Amino acid sequence: MTDVAPPRLLNDLDQAERFQLLIDAVKDYAIYLLDSEGYVSTWNTGAQLFKGYTAPEIIGQHFSVFYTEEDRAAGLPAKALKTAAQEGRFEAEGWRVRKDGTRFWTHVVIDPVLSDGGLVIGFAKITRDVSDRRANDDALRESEQRFRLLVQGVKDYAIYMLDIDGKVSNWNAGAEAIKGYKAGEIVGRHFSLFYTPEDQAAGLPQKALQTALNEGKFSGEALRVRKGGERFWASVVIDPIHDDGGEFIGFAKVTRDITERRRAEEAVEHSREALLQAQKMEAIGRLTGGVAHDFNNLLTVIRASADFLRRPGLSEDKRARYVQAIADTAERASALTSQLLAFARRQPLQPEVFDVNERVRGLSEIIGSSVGSAVDLVLDLPKKAQTVEADPSQFDTAVLNMVINARDAMPGGGTITISAAFSDGVPAVRGHTAAHGRFVALHIRDTGAGIPPETLGRIFEPFFTTKPVDKGTGLGLSQVYGFAKQSRGEIDVVSEVDRGATFTLYLPQSSKGRVKAAPAEVDCLDVPARRILLVEDNEGVGAFAAGLLRELGQAVVWVGDGQAALEVLEHRACEFDLVFSDVVMPGISGIDLGHRINEMWPQLQVVLTSGYSHILAEEGAHGFRLLNKPYAIDGLIGVLRSKPARGR
């Protein structure tokens, strides 16, 4: 069984095809036609071999170009045609000239070609090189012998031929060394026996030959089988072979044993995977350890404060102090969670268009109080607006984190310089390729101790810090890193020990117009009464949120998932003003629920809440009002006072 088409029988061809095959198959004679004036009109393979011209080069030229200059001067080309026309044949021997100018002795026969009416319409010309035929044959045999010796001398490669059906037709010493078969054992057998049984069942040997025929080559790496049944990895190349006439006659096959190379590559890959796994485990251990440490500290404050609040007879000032401690600690826990999400690039951002220079100037008082009097703060900011589109609160946090990091690098005082400039692209950073486009580059430079080279590559890792215990969480710079990446920007640092460091935050420049800041929320008085459908799958959070809303004078119906919310609205939509829904829930997500509400009950306002959602992080809130968890009373009051926002 083979995918190679069998050769066509000569009897299947018509008369003209058989004659053309005959003419093209003749290699020892130049057989071609001249028109009545002696110009070449056809050209066979033998003619090309003898005279050196390809068909496109010679067809249309006068046949006298094959004659020597002296013969042309004597008019021999014209005499030859005249003799053939008058006597019915011209036959002679003489010198002829090849394309490269070399001469050779030929035997020439010219016959006239007559029309049905007997007129001469052209000439058939047959030329044979009889000068060096024997010498050429000897040279050819010697060349073939040298080639056979060359192939047989190769030991690292199996080099052999297959016939058109895929049967082995010759065998070299390298093939015997690699596959284990002697020539007498393998010649005449199908090459598929080198394939594994499963590859044979899948028809891969035939597919390889068909690929070689269709595409001109087959190459690949796969398991093969030696004579004794041992499997080995082989690199294989198969090329189709055609004779001088273009006739397909078989395949050339080259195989190399690459088992040792594959084993070495697999060993390297296993080592790399083991190293990556170890690095992942180390990073996870450092991350979880840092989270556990920081949250345990926060929970300690909350637990102790709650225990004191349970004690009877507690004075009002102490009660207020412990309540405030719980509230402050919850804020710190929320900030810690935000920093973790920012590093992971999963923090839901609320981008706005703002001027970097104006934003930094607005932070100058906070920065000044954060760095202290021992540090000189220099703002080198241009007056021209440099606008970006990013989350302004996350931008503020990133700037403050970098400034505090710079302050801590100068315990004895120094100078922090903040400057900004446009940048045509971002340079290659930490092995990443450079980025093109217009960016705003915010530089924060200090004159502190600098960062050692061995530390420089780790400063953006979460919980990595060189500061003493309880002097930092190790999440500040990781927040900057996450914010930059999530904002389609970059963070770079250049440092020299004892000379200071420069952090550069790159954010894409925005061509949009600046958005005016929303007015601040007013005091928590006169909260409008709303009829609210609360959708929350977590019982603890749902009960707490329902209680808060009722304390604020709201009418609340609480359901546990999106499907239940739709069922309630199906019959009672007119009873509600607002749907307050979690995002991550089993079944229908809060975003999908919001879209369906907009379609079916457009009069209802939808507000979403979430502690984390990959959809929010990657796609945003889809135009809905979003209240991040953990939320407080002020946040709920803002929701109750907000105007309806329609999702996209």
pLDDT tens-digit series, residues 291-329: 555 666 566 667 767 777 887 887 888 788 878 878 877
Task: Provide the percentage of residues in the chain whose pLDDT is more than 70.
Answer: 77
pTM over 0.85, yes/no = no
Res. 415 pLDDT band, cuts 50 70 90: very high
pLDDT for position 140: 59
pLDDT for position 2: 45
Res. 496 pLDDT band, cuts 50 70 90: confident
Q: Where is average pLDDT lowest: 102-111, 228-237, 269-278, 296-305?
A: 296-305
CB of 106 closer than 8 Å to CB of 93: yes
Q: How far apart are CA 494 and CA 456, in angstroms?
A: 9
**pLDDT digits 0-9 by tens, 566-617:** 999 999 989 999 999 988 888 898 989 999 999 999 999 999 887 655 555 4
Burial of 59 (0-12, 13-18, 19+ CB in 10 A): middle
pLDDT for position 338: 62
**pLDDT digits 0-9 by tens, 85-94:** 999 999 998 8
pLDDT for position 465: 62
pLDDT for position 525: 47
Q: How many CB atoms lie within 10 A of CB 176?
A: 19
**pLDDT digits 0-9 by tens, 518-532:** 433 434 445 788 899
Pairwise pLDDT comparison (7 vs 179), residue with the higher score:
179
- Average pLDDT of the chain, as a whole number: 81
Q: How far apart are CA 532 and CA 589, in angstroms?
A: 18
Pairwise pLDDT comparison (286 vs 310), residue with the higher score:
310
CB of 110 closer than 8 Å to CB of 96: no
Amino acid at 303: R
Percent of the chain that is helix, strand, coil (3-state, to 5) = 45, 25, 30
**pLDDT digits 0-9 by tens, 440-459:** 999 999 999 888 887 777 77
SS3 611: coil
pLDDT for position 522: 37
pLDDT for position 378: 93
Q: What is the CATH number of domain 10-131?
A: 3.30.450.20
Q: Which residues pair with 377 in a beta bridge?
A: 416
CB of 548 closer than 8 Å to CB of 630: no
User: Does the pLDDT of residue 65 top 90, yes or no?
Assistant: yes
Q: Return the biggest CA–CA distance within the chain.
A: 144
Res. 623 pLDDT band, cuts 50 70 90: confident
Res. 470 pLDDT band, cuts 50 70 90: very low
Task: Provide the percentage of residues in the chain whose pLDDT is more than 90.
Answer: 35
Pairwise pLDDT comparison (290 vs 508), residue with the higher score:
508
Pairwise pLDDT comparison (342 vs 188), residue with the higher score:
188
Query: b or e along 477-508 (b: 16 or more beta carbons within 10 Å of the residue's beta carbon)?
Result: bbbbbbbbbbbebbbbbebeeeebbbbbbbbb
User: Does the pLDDT of residue 495 top 60, yes or no?
Assistant: yes
Residue 528: HSE in the Cβ half-sphere, 13 Å Cα cutoff: 11
Pairwise pLDDT comparison (282 vs 419), residue with the higher score:
419
Q: Where is average pLDDT lowest: 17-31, 83-97, 232-246, 593-607?
A: 17-31
User: Does the pLDDT of residue 152 top 80, yes or no?
Assistant: no
Dump strand ranges (E) for 130-260. Answer: 157-162, 218-225, 231-242, 248-257
Q: How far apart are CA 337 and CA 343, in angstroms?
A: 10
Please provide the DSSP assignment of 397-444 as one string: HHHHHHHHHHHHT-TT-EEEEEEEEEEEEE---TTPPPEEEEEEEEEE
Q: Which residues pair with 34 in a beta bridge?
A: 40, 123
Q: Please, which residues have CB within 8 angstroms of residue 284's CB and are 6 or more apart in sequence?
A: none
Res. 38 pLDDT band, cuts 50 70 90: very high
Res. 175 pLDDT band, cuts 50 70 90: confident
Q: Where is average pLDDT lowest: 279-288, 389-398, 463-472, 566-575?
A: 463-472
Mean pLDDT of 249-264: 90
pLDDT for position 576: 94
pLDDT for position 50: 84
**pLDDT digits 0-9 by tens, 178-229:** 999 998 999 999 999 999 999 999 999 999 999 999 999 999 999 999 998 9
pLDDT for position 40: 94
The domain 272-343 is classified under which CATH number: 1.20.1250, 1.10.760, 1.10.287, 1.25.40?
Answer: 1.10.287
Superfamily holding 531-641: Response regulator (3.40.50.2300)
Pairwise pLDDT comparison (104 vs 620), residue with the higher score:
104
Mean pLDDT of 392-421: 87
Packing angle, helices 392-408 and 476-486, rounded to 10: 140
Identical fold for domains 272-343 and 352-508, yes or no, is: no
Order the strands of the 218-225 sheet from edge to edge.
157-162, 248-257, 231-242, 218-225
**pLDDT digits 0-9 by tens, 108-121:** 999 999 988 889 99
pLDDT for position 523: 43
Res. 132 pLDDT band, cuts 50 70 90: low
**pLDDT digits 0-9 by tens, 626-643:** 887 776 677 778 778 776
Q: What is the CATH number of domain 144-257?
A: 3.30.450.20
Superfamily holding 352-508: Histidine kinase-like ATPase, C-terminal domain (3.30.565.10)
User: Does the pLDDT of residue 437 top 90, yes or no?
Assistant: no
Q: Where is average pLDDT lowest: 28-37, 92-101, 391-400?
A: 391-400
Q: Where is average pLDDT lowest: 79-83, 176-180, 457-461, 559-563?
A: 457-461
Mean pLDDT of 420-432: 81
Res. 559 pLDDT band, cuts 50 70 90: very high
Q: How far apart are CA 40 and CA 324, in angstroms?
A: 107
Q: How far apart are CA 125 and CA 29, in angstroms?
A: 10
**pLDDT digits 0-9 by tens, 345-400:** 455 567 889 999 998 988 888 788 778 888 999 999 998 889 999 888 778 878 88
Domain boundaries, the chain: 10-131, 144-257, 272-343, 352-508, 531-641
